[in-house]
Structure 1
């Protein structure tokens, strides 16, 4: 800006945004929500500082981290992150990563550090943003510390009502993965039923296999198993053999190319069956009907989809007969129109929230 004397310029100190984007390159769902988190941070300051933990180079490409960002790698750089935060120019922005927040007993120290970061930014007149998150394994003192930090943040969003209640209330919002919703082929252009299950669960039983196979046959769909998390690859191979379907390996393909291949598959699917939340989110935003069909499902998927108005996509397979499972899956096949409407509404809501975040930052710096 021009000085009062009019013969020189006074330069203001550059603004700085910090964003945490950790995650394994072998998990496409993590990449989806971290990339959406980065989108909320881009353009909010002159300088962008990104913490990625121990992630490999391909992770930066997968998320689209700008070349001019300051990237801090490995846990050894945490001290530098904290120093840059403490010495940042006035009114910095701190954006925490979206996703699941484990608050078990071993996380008390980590939550204390996050609370300290929040306090530092607030004392410097800055803005703290917590995109939609879900709490897992709550225990004290971790939950108490997390709740204090959330209440000190100008923006604290929760992807399910249960998580909001644990911290004493807050705004329930769609999982940030729904921000990537796009146009997709009509149902008549879709000819596959896709399955992607956790490798850590037991292999589904004979009635489950029969229900999925018969549902696909009745709908004229080809069965394909895919891998969205690298550790699930052996299970996908087993399922393809049991179902008589095609197996889509991850193999040596890098994460960027594999994600493109996977999204293309979801765009050809009418139904996607999984017990991984972001398999079903990706399926839904690419136009397929999502279905969770496993024994003893957790509330995680049910609650997060309910937050965007999508209900009844889960069936506990523990005591269900093959006919019950077929009826459930057939019902899901007919819900693509309703699910598409809710997905579009979720994307619009996330667009509104992003604009609110940017306006909050702008007003703080006005």
Structure 2
């Protein structure tokens, strides 16, 4: 006799990242949400991440968690021995393709080929390419073309991969209500610690903008390594410094509360501005010679002109103009979240059809 009982299905999801970076947690959580419920068994590779990382992401009980480089062989074995059309969900975010990344991209290509040979589904959530070099870019582009779903969070990355599908970064998925605009009384600042301290003209422009709008200045920490820079900025701006004093889960909740009560958030970190905009604050990148990363990611959701070069811009005028864009920001965030819901639904339908 033969059993009519269906064979168990597996979804493999990559969720690496440091617990000290709230932005990385945001997009990895989005990746996990896409993977959940697509198979009977969920297998997550988390690299060297600590237990608090699993809590940050909300990894559900029953997930088979693989840690460390030694577990990569186990990951590949489980993938190769999956019997019934496995699903592979690679993590959203930035993909470094510098020299030396070629071997890693060959492994990802091999994973993609294994899944496709098993008539499974490969999902690449919205990603951005950084530091593209050959042959890493060639291997990466080949794997993306071999995937049923390969999405890009900015047009430049799509062009590099020979693709055209540009969608919102997965971090834009969850719009928060935030406080009514008239009840917001803060201007928040969070800058990278690795960059030089802003000059006197920048400090004066931010202080002037806060005074004219009747806003208190607060510096916050979304990436642990930026904490000392936030302390220095608070001293220079005459603002309140809020250190990272809790676990990562509590820190994220505190940050969202701050963003929900702010009118303007200035940062050179993309996901600081994403989290801020989701809570209704107006996001602003104001640094010397800003990179295109933030500009392109927000352009993908239809929000243009949030970045300015501090070496050439009329900073007070720029900040005054940005604070008038609250309604536009809310509209764009709502539309981006709705688009991501549609994309996720289409992904799940692709998996369903593959297993029908």
Name the CA distance, whole Å, in 1 between partners of 2:101 and 2:19: 23
Q: 2:319 aligns with which of 329, 337, 340?
A: 329
- Following the alignment from structure 1 to structure 2, what is the Cα–Cα distance between the partners of residues 346 and 291? 18
Q: 2:254 aligns with which of 261, 272, 291?
A: 261
Is 2:216 the partner of 1:207?
no
1:9 is displaced (CA, Å) by 4.5
TM-score, normalized by length of structure 2? 0.99
2:2 maps to 1:12: no
Looking at structure 1, the residues matched to 176 and 347 of structure 2 have their Cα atoms a distance apart, in angstroms, of: 22
| Equivalent in the alignment of 2:225 | 231
TM-score (norm 1): 0.96
CA contact (8 A) 1:147 1:167 kept: yes
Q: Deviations over 1:80-137 (max 9, x none)?
A: 0011010112210000000000011110000000000000000000000000000000
Deviations 1:129-187 (A, max 9, x none): 00000000001000000000000000000000111111111310000000021222221
Identify which of 195, 210, 213 aligns with 2:189: 195
* Counterpart residue number, 1:32: 26
Q: Does 1:282 align with 2:303?
A: no
Other-structure match for 2:335: 345
Q: Contact 2:21–2:223 at 8 Å: present in 1 too?
A: yes
Q: Deviations over 1:40-86 (max 9, x none)?
A: 00000000000000000000000000110000011111110011010
* Aligned mates of 1:168, 1:66 — CA distance in 2: 36
Count residues with an aligned counterpart: 356
User: Which residue matches 1:63?
Assistant: 57
1:90–1:124 Cα contact (<8 Å) kept: yes
Determine the C-alpha separation between the residues in 1 that align with 2:179 and 2:235: 28
Whole-Å separation in 2 of the counterparts to 1:75 and 1:26: 20
> How big is the shift at 1:348?
0.4
Tell me how large the CA RMSD over aligned residues is: 0.9
Structure 1 residue 245 corresponds to structure 2 residue 239: yes
- The 3-state SS of whatever aligns with 1:105 is coil
